Structure 1
Amino acid sequence: MVKENYQAQIDGKRIAKAMAKNAPVSTKFSVELCHLIRGWPVSKAEALLNRIVNMEACLPLRIYHKKVGHRKGKGLMAGHYPVFLAKTWLSLINNVKNNAEEKGLDVDSLVIRHCHAAYGFRRRSMQAKGKIGGKVRRRKSTHIEIIVQEIPGINNKKVKQ
């Protein structure tokens, strides 16, 4: 098994980890999502991401909110509906749930202890412009990691670290 370097060193037998490198999603929205779901049960985070995919709920923006319109909701100022980001995070959460199940952990009592998003490799691609020339565009990517811990009897409460 490959040893990956995670940003947090959480020791324990009741943890599971997952990582996505160079995922083609926005780093800023990933950071906002990390701040939001850290400490949540996995089932609650999964429900929020499903609601974002269906465009029933938006991702509240607290840091990167410049020139973003207001959204409906209690205690909500600005927000976006990043559907592709939510699908990518759902696949990562499914990955960490499968890793936890392989370790013999109870999937219903998993809490997100750590999640982190950082800038990844900037891929180059050409944008067509005229007959001869072209323009180089840089595509964004993000390194995402998530660590969950089994805490029995959480009952969908937000757990502090």
Structure 2
Amino acid sequence: MADEQLKQQRIPKEKAGKEIKNKEYIAQASKAAGKLEKENVNDKKIDKTEESKAEEVKEQVKKKDEKKIKRTEATIYGRNLPISLRHSVAIGRFIRNKKIPAAISDLEKVIKKKVAIPVVGEMAHRRGKGMMSGKYHVNASKEFINLLKTLSANSSVNGMDLDRTIIYETIPNKAPVQHHRFGSTKFKRTHVLIKAKEMERENDKK
């Protein structure tokens, strides 16, 4: 009788243990499923954020394209250049109404002393058509070439056609005088402003 009672007591204990294990297994499975669902939700959120970022980038690119306005003028301003004001006026008159590449080429010829810059005043006669007197301003020509190269780059950035871009204005101004450290000599300084614009085509005028 005692053995039968022990067997009867063991059976419900074993059943209870199995039920507890099943409950633990179910709980673990539900936790794992919950984690998978959270991961899927996070992945979806990441995908949405990436899509929204891509759309924002596209909108920014469109806005930039819309804001781009073609310019027809370009300028360059040289400050405190170590050149004479009188030489700057002569060179400005020499390159005015010329294309930028042509002006650079002419100034390079001046540096090589193949072409003289017309100068108003009592100067020696130089060879050249329509020129009574002239001079080779080598240092000033070098400074102007640097300015014209920068002006050419600015024109390209503005989307201007260099074949139709002409220098239409040069404005040299006297800069503040700088003295030598001993005070006996003065340095020549000049501000130079050069403006260029893209000329309209005949078809555009019509």
Question: Which letter does structure 1 place at the counterpart of 2:86?
Answer: K
Q: For 2:185, what is the secondary structure of its paired residue?
A: strand
CA distance in 2, matches of 1:37, 1:84: 16
Show the counterpart of 2:129: 74
- 1:46 is matched with which residue: 104, 125, 129? 104
User: Helix, strand or coil for the counterpart of 2:172?
Assistant: strand
Establish whether residue 15 from structure 1 lines up as the match of residue 73 from structure 2.
Answer: yes
- In structure 1, which of residues 81, 84, 87 is the aligned counterpart of residue 139 of structure 2? 84
Match of 1:142 among 180, 183, 190: 190
Q: Does 1:124 align with 2:179?
A: yes
Shift in Å, 1:44: 2.1
Aligned residues: 133
Larger radius of gyration: 2
Deviation at 1:74, TM superposition (A): 2.0
**Structure 2 runs not aligned, ≥5 long:** 1-69
RMSD: 1.9
CA distance in 1, matches of 2:101, 2:154: 15
Identity %: 24
Q: Which runs of 5+ in 1 are unaligned?
A: 1-11, 127-133, 155-161
Aligned mates of 1:100, 1:113 — CA distance in 2: 14
Amino acid at match of 1:19: Y
Give the CA deviation at 1:59.
Answer: 0.7
Please give the TM-score of this superposition, normalised by the length of structure 2: 0.60
Question: 1:145 offset after TM fit, Å?
Answer: 0.5
Indicate the larger mover: 99-108 or 18-27. Answer: 99-108
Q: What do the CA deviations read for 1:86-122 (whole angstroms, capped 9, x no partner)?
A: 1100000001111111111122221012111111121
TM-score normalised per structure 1? 0.76
